[in-house]
Homo-oligomer: A and B are copies of this chain.
């Protein structure tokens, strides 16, 4: 029964959403296209009409997730006049909060973390690495600005601060996503960020003044 173009696009989207759930629950390589089809309320025929195979479906699923606009973030960093560190901390905390609230993102990221990047979906891995590299570069720029404006503790370089933050965020999210969300991501995350950025800011002389006074 031929559907209208809008309806077809609807089924395509429902297949993508079903693939997201099924891939998340059973793992990409463990899920069959029939699982996805049943979850979407269609048959494998519909999947093979809209996508060429499972790898293609996975790639399209990966492409369907909207990327955060890095340009905007970069511009905001430029414009964040006073305390750059405060802005970075707030952005990181907000990102955690969005992650905790958005099951869509959680599933996509979990799938990406767990997926066995063997040969066929290697382009996904490479693209993911590009995105990560750009994010790290953005962070390092921000921390460099913070250092040049005297906000960064002498103990930290822009690079080491970037990596410390990046790895902490990564470890935090990995544990939360891969090991069953056993804590409140936003609360624990913001607490950790507070401490880490406290140590970024803590310039000894000022601290001494604080303690002495």
Residues on A facing B (Cβ under 8 Å): 25-27, 29-30, 113-116, 118, 125, 128-129, 132, 153, 155-157, 160-161, 163-164, 166-172, 174-175, 178-180, 182, 188, 191-192, 195-196, 198-200, 202, 204-205, 207-208, 211
- Please tell me if the beta carbons of A27 and B155 are within 8 angstroms of each other in the complex: no
Query: For the complex, what is the distance from the CA of A207 to the CA of B208, rounded to whole Å?
Result: 10
Task: Evaluate contact between A211 and B205: CB separation under 8 angstroms.
Answer: yes
The docked-state distance in angstroms from the alpha carbon of A80 to that of B142 is: 39
Least distance between A154 CB and chain B CB atoms (Å) = 8
Min CB–CB distance A29 → chain B (angstroms): 4
| Cα A164 to Cα B175 with chains together (Å) | 13
Quote the shortest CB–CB distance from A33 to chain B (angstroms): 15
| Alpha-carbon gap, A128 to B174, bound state (A) | 14
Closest to A28 in B: B116
A164 to chain B, nearest CB (A): 6
Pairs A–B under 8 Å by Cβ, sample size 21 = A25-B118, A26-B116, A26-B118, A27-B29, A27-B118, A29-B30, A29-B116, A30-B116, A113-B113, A114-B114, A132-B179, A155-B199, A156-B195, A163-B188, A167-B171, A168-B168, A170-B172, A171-B171, A174-B174, A202-B204, A205-B211
Residue of A164, A167, A172 contacting most chain B CB atoms (<10 Å): A167
**In the complex, what residue of chain B is closest to A182 when comparing beta carbons?**
B129
CA of A156 to CA of B196, assembled, Å: 9
Interface centre among A166, A169, A180, A196 (most CB of B within 10 A): A196
Given known A-B contacts A29-B29, A170-B170, A160 and B207 have beta carbons under 8 A apart: no
